[in-house]
Structure 1
Amino acid sequence: MKENWPRQVPAVELDAAGVARLVLPLFPGDRLRSFAPVSGGLTNTNYKVQLVEHRAPLLLRLYQRGIAPARKERAIDTLIARRVPVLHFFHLGEANPVTGHPYAVLDWIEAPDLQQSLAYMTQERRLALAPKIGRTLAAIHGFRFEVFGFFEDDLKIKGPIDFDRAGLLAYLDQSLIQGRGGERLGPELTQRLLAYAAEHGNILSDWLQQPSLVHGDFNAANILIRPEAGDEIAAIIDWEYALSASPAIDFGNLLRPPFDADTTFAEALARAYVEAGGFLPRDWRRIARLADIFSFADILNRPQAAGVVVADARRIVAGLLEAPTS
């Protein structure tokens, strides 16, 4: 779904001297062979960097939302790297002498993201990939915490958050009524969504057994695959929005279009998730769709929201309201 969403902030432009100044101190005596901006991503700026002596390419990332998301991403990498494929950090700098942004030098993985691959993927390949994603999600959600909430940069919880009916209603009030989201969603959809959440929000409690590590932006753009190796999962990237929450958040994000109407994909995903130790409540797909409203309420309330983003949010909300409730 996010393939048509514009960047939230302009990319940061670097020349060869700037790239060399950030990367070469980590590789004394080496020289810059080439660099190129990497497409994708809505917030940070990424460059693929190739040195002369260090043969493996590198990823240079400039964090444009400050140091806290960068520290959190590195902490998650350290926590889960043995069980979940992620990018390895060579270095994290809290500021840089070229642009001032926090930056990181990471592994470069030569693998397309799933969003790029979907256009030429057969249904057979999609169904073969679903169990791999399911097992990866089970591994992510296997990391548990004491309470639900957003992470500090050291993965301590800032403050508890409610992901039940009361929490959703409070967040919708904050985002749509007190905030700017309701104006963008429109009065009719806003009132229908509030009524729906009040009537059906109790189902969220069926998936709140244990606070789990949740990616928070688990969609096709953040899943790297290796087509030459049977579409194995190469890495899960971009952990800036990770939190301690219900696994329903990640399932809701993943099962947006184009996967929302693919029942066989969802079934294969679910079977592998459960076989790998994950828990799914009976009405898990409906709960996931409702949990995804937390994300869209946040998106609608941001200071800037592009027209295509608002249109997608309206489509997701309308689809939830029109779906069967039993």
Structure 2
Amino acid sequence: MKENWERSRPVQLLEMQELEWMLQSFMPGKKLEAFYLLGGGYSNTNYKLQVETLGDPLVLRVSSEKLCKFENSLHSRLQQNLPVPEIYFSESHGDRSFSFMEWRTGSQLKEVMYQGERNAVKQAAFSVGYWLSQIRKHTFTESGFLNENLDVCEPVKITPDTFLAFMEEFLIKGKTGLWIEKEMTAAVWDYARKNKHFLKDIDVEPALVHSDYNGLNILASKNNEPCEVTAIIDWEFAFAGPVYVDIGNMLRYENFRYYADFELAFIEGLEFGGIKLHKEWKRIAKLVDLIALCSLLNNQHGGENRIKDIKQLISQTLKYEK
């Protein structure tokens, strides 16, 4: 799952002095005892901070000013009824804007998926599906990208025509074609044209989409029964749209032992939470995820590991016929 992917932005390595300055903005007089760079993020930079007299660590998240404000608004809206860490304090400083947020315990869902026992995998999947159903309770009047006030500022609705327009933009006009062979480009375009009709009327009830809802951005309880979600993190790509975006992302990787059990329990959790899916839900989710996969290659820097992984995922999608 995104093994050794190259980052889209370089890590913002901070010196002790700068970390202490940020901490003083939040907690004047407190001493920073230790800090650790957290792995897993591909766009922003996160540190785990141990502060004197505090029993639990803090998370320091460094990002752009725009993203910092956006995540503050979103966390504030969601933390009352979703397992989303509380943001205690933030300050804007351009590309080094920062937030201090709650530390949540748990293992990455990825570890449970690939290393957990069958029962733990099923429990985690059900919990992940259920919480996605609760995310969908945050509705919008139209689909599209959100501003820092959580208003739709750029309406975008997924339809057969807009789907094909996205694919044309990435494959033919954009940079995606630089990283995949001509044969694959032609195959993806052909697949998109033949299957676009499945996307009719899938985006009629716009609600919140995490847009990076996968095993890297969800924490699950470690040694407790049952294995449940303890935190959903990294909301930077959130927008308003159809649930199939998050379904496709969550079920993107199938290369672990209990995938079939995971998929079944995940859908059961969604339905338990009140989500009613189209009978062709899996095909729809894979089509929508194809937009995301192609967009990830629509850049000039590529990245050897990223390209290899995404090409394998695209090939997997093209083989889906039922």
TM-score, length basis structure 1: 0.93
Instruction: Please list the CA deviations of residues 299-322 of structure 1 after superposition, one character each: whole Å capped at 9, or x if unmatched.
Output: 111232212211222222222222
Match of 1:291 among 288, 291, 298: 288
Instruction: Report the 3-state secondary structure (helix = DSSP H, G, I; strand = E; otherwise coil) of the residue aligned with 1:303.
Output: coil
Aligned to 1:235: 231
Runs of 4+ in 1 over 4 A off after TM superposition: none
Which letter maps to 2:238? A
Aligned to 1:142: 137
* 1:163 matched to 2:158: yes
Which letter maps to 2:231? A
Q: What is the deviation of 1:206?
A: 4.7
Aligned to 1:93: 91
Given that 1:222 and 1:238 are in contact with CA atoms closer than 8 Å, whether structure 2 keeps it comes out as yes
Match of 1:258 among 240, 254, 261: 254
Which letter maps to 2:31? R
Instruction: Please list the CA deviations of residues 235-255 of structure 1 after superposition, one character each: whole Å capped at 9, or x if unmatched.
Output: 100000001111111010010
Q: What is the deviation of 1:204?
A: 1.5
Q: Distance in 1 between matches of 2:113 and 2:267?
A: 20
* 1:247 matched to 2:243: yes
Instruction: Please list the CA deviations of residues 213-247 of structure 1 after superposition, one character each: whole Å capped at 9, or x if unmatched.
Output: 00000110000111133322111000000011111
Aligned to 1:151: 146
Instruction: Report the 3-state secondary structure (helix = DSSP H, G, I; strand = E; otherwise coil) of the residue aligned with 1:182.
Output: helix
Given that 2:159 and 2:202 are in contact with CA atoms closer than 8 Å, whether structure 1 keeps it comes out as no
Q: 1:84 to 1:280 in 2, by over 3 A?
A: same
**Match runs of 1:38-117 below 5 Å:** 38-63=38-63, 66-95=64-93, 101-117=96-112
Match of 1:124 among 119, 122, 133: 119
Q: What is the deviation of 1:296?
A: 1.1
* 1:22 matched to 2:2: no
Q: Distance in 1 between matches of 2:313 and 2:25?
A: 47
Aligned to 2:200: 205
In terms of mean alpha carbon deviation, does 281-290 or 192-201 score higher? 192-201
Q: Distance in 2 between matches of 1:80 and 1:56?
A: 22
Number of aligned positions between the proteins: 320
TM-score, length basis structure 2: 0.94
Gaps of 5+ in 1: none
Identity %: 27
Q: What is the deviation of 1:120?
A: 2.4
Given that 1:206 and 1:281 are in contact with CA atoms closer than 8 Å, whether structure 2 keeps it comes out as no
Q: How large is the Cα RMSD of the aligned pairs?
A: 1.7
Instruction: Report the 3-state secondary structure (helix = DSSP H, G, I; strand = E; otherwise coil) of the residue aligned with 2:142.
Output: coil
Q: What is the deviation of 1:159?
A: 1.8
Instruction: Report the 3-state secondary structure (helix = DSSP H, G, I; strand = E; otherwise coil) of the residue aligned with 1:227.
Output: coil
Q: What is the deviation of 1:176?
A: 1.2
Aligned to 1:304: 301
Q: Distance in 2 between matches of 1:12 and 1:298?
A: 24
Instruction: Please list the CA deviations of residues 285-307 of structure 1 after superposition, one character each: whole Å capped at 9, or x if unmatched.
Output: 11101110111121111232212
